[in-house]
Structure 1
Amino acid sequence: MTEQRRRAVVTGIGVVAPSGIGAEAHWRTVLSGQRRTGPVTLFDATGYPTRLGGEVPDFDASRYTDNRILVQTDRWTHLGFAATRLALTDAGLPERASDPYGWAVTMASSSGGNLFGQRELQRLWSSPTRTVGAYQSIAWFYAASVGQLSIGHQAKGPCGVLVTEAAGGLDSLAHAVRTVRRGASVVLAGATECPLSPYALACQLRSGLLSDVTDPERAYRPFDAAASGYLPAEGGAVFVVEEYEHALARGARSYGEVTGWGATHDAVHTTAESGGDPHQYARAMRLALGRAGVEPGDVDLVVPDALGVPRFDRAEATALRAAFAGTAPPVSTHKTLTGRAHQGGSALDVATALLAFAHDTLPASAGPDRVADGCDLDFLRERRRPRSRVAMVCARGFDGFNSALVLRGSAPAGEERR
């Protein structure tokens, strides 16, 4: 089979996020519109301007790997262990690759093992021994999750990590499709994040993009007249991306196919006044639509980046209007429910879009309540059935990364699949 004929479908979804553990728990939160952000509990944040965030509820890392590995790794990687195991179970695949060189891992990352690194550095500064643990050198590393997952699941094919901040969750899936086209049968893709540590929060505060509103119901409001910034969150989603014939041969269920993607860069440094380049962002969207062979009017659903910072929200709305050339695609965002998990958040948006098609329901947007000037978009106010089963997910990474991904969803269970 030639590279161009090899198709990549998503056969497994694993979610570990503030919205819940497991894809169905996440979907229930999206449908209910229940906000899952609140006071940060992973450390004492009372002295910080931002004290709210999104944490994974009732997460027990020992359910997903053994203690020997847990002590060597950060919570961000623990979330990745859980999401990957859930995705493999959902796909009906074994925990360890039956064909190791046919399996690959391509995940996204950005800040690495914050909690682990903070703990070790504090020990270095405060302990008379002036030492750090043996695993400090690997647990904080931005590629640690990819390495641990490839070892744990015996995925010995091409493995790598994408570092484009929040855009990375989409870039990882685009790279997974390329990896399938180049010969892999199964690729683990997606991202998790845990930016909730003193050091990580301080870094995010330096950007000036975080909300300092103390009411969880009002703190993170993308595209709203009351938008004040974002709330940080942990978690994300991992996907089993599988070669179509391989999935068909074992009778696997397909959530849908990644049919197009685009990635651009603003090519200028992000300043305190900039809101991103809408021209370059729109170009990424057009590239994704063109590669998917999709007309703007055929898109059922757009899941936006939804940063919640007024100037960035206006730039995103401008880019969407430009890319869709006068059409008004339905827009739905749910980051206000969970917080923003950076690359894990964009992966979670992909899970939402695929689950919408699996459940034959486009979910209502969690806001805005009062649309901000310049942010006029066709926000879904009520759930409805999809028409064309095509979605576009958009994301931007700090300092100029822009990505868009086009998905074609499979028909829900019981109906003929595309």
Structure 2
Amino acid sequence: MDYDSVRTVDTAVADALIGERERQEETLAMIASENHVSEAVLEAQGSVLTNKYAEGYPGERYYAGCAYADEIEQLAIDRATELWGAEHVNVQPHSGTQANQAVYHAMLDPGDKILSLELTHGGHLSHGHPANFTGQMYTVEQYEVDPETGRIDYDGLAELAESFGPDIIVSGYSAYPRAVDWERIQAAADAVDAYHLADIAHITGLVAAGVHPSPVGIADFVTGSTHKTIRAGRGGIVMCDAEYADEIDQAVFPGGQGGPLMHNVAGKAVGFKEALTPEFEAYAQAVVDNAETLGETLVDHGLSLVSGGTDTHLVLVDLRDSHPDLSGGDAEDALTEAGIILNGNTVPGETRSPFDPSGIRAGTAGLTTRGFDGAAMEEVGDLIYRVVDNHDDEAVIEEVGERVLELCADHPLYAE
């Protein structure tokens, strides 16, 4: 991946691409929403399909010359159907947020009511934050996690649904480390005659591999990202019962976007095929096991985890008990300097600004892709703690950075 063709046209972009490749090779990618796709997925996403418009759906396009686009999109649909068991799948959304938008557009009118998890308790912008279109177009009320346990307060959710009367309840989260009881949320939705949208953006791969409970067949709609734990082409996906198929398809196109990014759909198709293998199931289990090891290591060092641990690919550290004077933003900066890339994150009961929060969030999907096992993940946890505990000590940060480079060399990302 020397980007020689790019260099003949644009040396600045070629240099930046090589720099980014080296950055990924030489740092530990622990942002929970990130992963490393295979060279096969990269090749599919960089294919000649970037030249092709294919508005519409397989067999019903608004442009000629779509035979191969039809073939590839149908492969992506069929493989997604096999992975998640949904009756209907739309693979065209450009992102998880646009997948959510399609459901809202299909089933709600402006001003209708959304009940979702509050952002600082682990929710997502597209679930109703006032800075997002959802918070501007719809009436939003939000539930929270239990302040004592850090887990979803299902009884409180049901009570709030009864008093608020939502048109749709949103489950699935961006920074919630525990398994979700989809049935209890569906029961709360049924009790108030509301739809239920389960957003599994972070855990698509874990659900596909059967290492996390699935909302498919329980929730009315399931959305997700296709580039996080599932490791496929970048974008989104919507799954639903057959009765909603036409409404969802029309909400995606022409309701919310024009031509699909067919090169990304090709990446989805290739990634989905990879996810149908026994090797992927073993990978997904390792992601969860590594997250548990990471969490236990951090707890052993005296750090506090929201909910006390994790059932998924991520751990959420609340720094207020162990390091009350250290913000998540400053911890992120120190760790970045050491080559450990994760993000400052809000925590339940947040007392700081969202731009400089009280916690840090770390995920294990990317490192597991690189082949990190439990022993390596335990060492990573040790390194994270050393930086957090010595965030203003340049000598310690430099020493950790040198060890990070050695770990990266031992677990190469892409073949030269």
What TM-score results when the alignment is normalised by the length of structure 1?
A: 0.24
Greater Cα radius of gyration, structure 1 or 2: 2
Query: TM-score when scaled to structure 2?
Result: 0.25
Pick the structure with more helix per residue.
2
More strand by share: 1
